[in-house]
Every structure is written in structure tokens, then in C-alpha cells.
Amino acid sequence: MPKIGMETIRRKALTNAAIEAIGARGSMGVTMSDIAGRAGVSPALAHHYFGSKDQLITASVRALLGDLRTDAVNALRAARSHRGRVSAIIAVSFSEKQFSEDVVAAWLAFYVDAQRASGIRRLLSVYARRLHSNLMSGLTPLAGAYDAERIAEGAAAMIDGLYIRKALGTGPARHDAVALVEDHIETQLLEIRGRPL
């Protein structure tokens, strides 16, 4: 008789292993056997839990998004100002966990796969909307809706671009990535404050 809770543990181990395997290879060119081996389970059990590699990959993207959402919610709760909310989202985007080599490489592979896989494309759209909404929650009171929209778009593009550069091995260190996006935000806010009324 299976132990209570083992399915949840094994599913998490498989999604983690998929992210690691894809990140290590830098592409979706991994098999269920590769992933199952990393997770310490049989390929048959991996198929039992997820049905197919595509379903496991989709579950892995969901798991990454779930971790990112949890980290963002906790960071936003701790923020003490509107500007602090913006900084919290930037910090979470470049946290050690989110900006690790395997996770960044996996994100890049997921973006490539989204061109053919509508389920992954939908999940990445959820990520983009959530990032935008979180940035807007702090920026709108500071800059007004129109300027907040523009600043948030620029910050999101920088975050995504810095992930791509990290995946290619040309990106800055984590703290430098945070500083670049923070500088963009602060420069834009200073420009708004300096406008004549």
C-alpha cells in the first residue's frame, strides 16, 4: 500500500528533475527516462503520474510559476511602501532560486517550446500578466497609470532580457541585474518628478 503523501512528493521530485534536466541540456531534448532517473523513480512511474513528457513539462512550468508566485506574495506582504513593492518584485525575479543557471536555462527552453505548445504559451502569458500587475501595483501610485504602464513594460522587458543574457552566459551577476532594473525604474520616476506641473 502506498504511503500517504508519496504521490505529492514524487510529483514534486519529477517537476524539479524536469527543470534540472532541461536546464542542464538547455533544451527540451530530454526523455522521460532522463527525468525519472534524476528524480530517482522509474520511467513507468513518471508516465503513471504525468502521462507524457509534454504533460510533465507543463506541470514543471506550473511549478516554477507557483514558486515565483509564492515568493512574490511573501515579498509584497513585507514591502512597506509603493516603491518597496516594485523593489520586492525585482528582487524576487533575480533571487538565488529564480536566477539560478538551471532555472534560467529552463525558462529559455520553455519560451522556445511555447512556439509550438499552446499550454506553455498560456502559462507564460499568465506569468507576463502577473509580473505586469505586480509592478503596476507599486508604480501606479508613484507615476500615474499612463507612465506606470510604460515603466512597467520597460522593467519587464529588462527582466526577460537579462534572463536571456544569463542563459547565454553573457548576463550580469544577480545583484548587478537587480541594480540595472532598479536604475531604470528610478531614472523614470525622477524624470516624472522633474516635469513641470
pLDDT digits (tens, 9 = 90+) for 33-46: 999 999 999 989 89
Q: How many CA atoms lie within 13 A of 190 on its CB side?
A: 6
Tell me whether residue 79 is in a domain: yes
CATH number at residue 76: 1.10.357.10
Report the distance separating Cα 30 and Cα 14, nearest Å.
13
Burial class for 178, CB neighbours closer than 10 Å (0-12, 13-18, 19+): buried
> Is 1 a residue whose pLDDT tops 50?
no
> Is 3 a residue whose pLDDT tops 80?
no
Tell me whether residue 84 is in a domain: yes
pLDDT (average), residues 152-168: 94
Instruction: Take residue 112 and report the three cell numbers written for it.
Output: 522556445
- Give the tens place of pLDDT for each residue, 51-108: 888 899 889 989 999 999 999 999 999 999 999 999 999 999 999 989 988 888 888 8
**CB–CB of 89/134 below 8 Å?**
yes
Tell me whether residue 173 is in a domain: yes
Q: How many domains does the chain divide into?
A: 1
Q: Residue 175 belongs to what domain range?
A: 58-193
> Is 180 a residue whose pLDDT tops 90?
yes
